[in-house]
């Protein structure tokens, strides 16, 4: 399967996975700013208010989505480098 692919294919796949990881990392970094702003809004409004609660919930959702995407990209790259497992979308 993966061991049957030629070295040029493996290099392309690894490069694609590294790009995806870099993009996910950049999104995480950008999300930190948004999350900090939403936490500040929630703190200003107070968590006992509906708007404060919504801001806090949105911050947690954004942070969770960004971390999930980053973790998935890292896992895909690790699986390929360590186990030569090629993600289905790159076959």
DSSP string, 46-79: -TTSHHHHHHHHHHHHHHHHHHHHHHHHHHHHHH
Instruction: Give residue for tokens 């806090």.
Output: 56
Q: Looking at the 3D structure of the chain, how many domains does it have?
A: 1
89 domain-assigned: no
pLDDT at residue 4, rounded to an integer: 56
* Domain housing 66: 7-83
How confident is the model over 35-43, as a mean pLDDT? 93
Q: Which tens digits make up the pLDDT trace of 64-90?
A: 999 999 999 999 999 999 999 999 999
Angle at 21 between CA 65 and CA 11, to 5 degrees: 150
91 domain-assigned: no
């Amino acid at each position: 399967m993966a061991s049957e692919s030629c070295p040029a294919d493996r290099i392309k796949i690894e490069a694609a996975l590294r790009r995806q990881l870099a993009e996910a990392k950049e999104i995480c970094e950008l999300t930190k700013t948004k999350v900090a702003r939403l936490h500040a809004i929630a703190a200003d409004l107070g968590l006992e208010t509906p708007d404060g609660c919504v801001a806090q919930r949105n911050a947690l959702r954004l942070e969770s989505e960004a971390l999930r995407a980053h973790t998935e990209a890292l896992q895909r790259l690790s699986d390929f480098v360590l186990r030569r497992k090629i993600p289905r979308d790159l076959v």
